[in-house]
Amino acid sequence: MDDEPLTERRPVTGPRVFGYLRHVTGGAARHTALTGCITEYCRRHELTLCGVFTDREPAVAFRSPAFVGLLDALELPDTYGTVTPALGHLGPRPVAAERKRRISATGARLITVRSTRPTASDAPSFRLQQQGGT
């Protein structure tokens, strides 16, 4: 008889992702909170967070050391995508548009923790149902 545990009991790694932040203002606590936001999102969605790239300078061009590092990481085999707290972390609109295009060109997905559009979970009636209300 085979004594190996069932698949559900074996440690399984989820799709590999890399985080990306633009943290220009705020202190270490803010950076920790943003990183924690990405980490928790990945944990809830069974994604393996392999690292977080952080830009600390204003985004005036799409090329920055952290973003170039992210693009290099996205080229690694078996990389699923990048996770950012919100699209605003990609920079101002023209810079963000180019960065989105570059991420897409790698074949990776761009995942945002906070969407700009309301979702069903934002509706008050949905929250009441989840809390045991009507």
User: What is the per-residue pLDDT for 69?
Assistant: 96
User: What is the per-residue pLDDT for 13?
Assistant: 75
Instruction: Measure the CA–CA gap between 86 and 102, rounded to whole angstroms.
Output: 17
Query: How high does pLDDT run on average in the chain?
Result: 82
Contacts of 37 (CB under 8 A, 6+ apart): 85, 113
Give residue-wise pLDDT tens across range 62-121. 789 999 999 999 999 999 999 999 999 999 999 999 999 999 999 999 999 986 555 444
Asked if residue 134 is part of any domain, the answer here is: no
Which CATH number is 92's domain given? 3.40.50.1390
When pLDDT is cut at 50, 70 and 90, the band that residue 133 belongs to is very low
Domain enclosing residue 39, as ranges: 16-122
Count: domains in the chain: 1
- HSE-CB for 84 with a 13 A CA cutoff: 24
> Is the pLDDT score of 123 beyond 90?
no
Asked if residue 70 is part of any domain, the answer here is: yes
Asked if residue 7 is part of any domain, the answer here is: no
Question: What is the Cα 40 distance to its own chain's centre?
Answer: 10
Asked if residue 8 is part of any domain, the answer here is: no
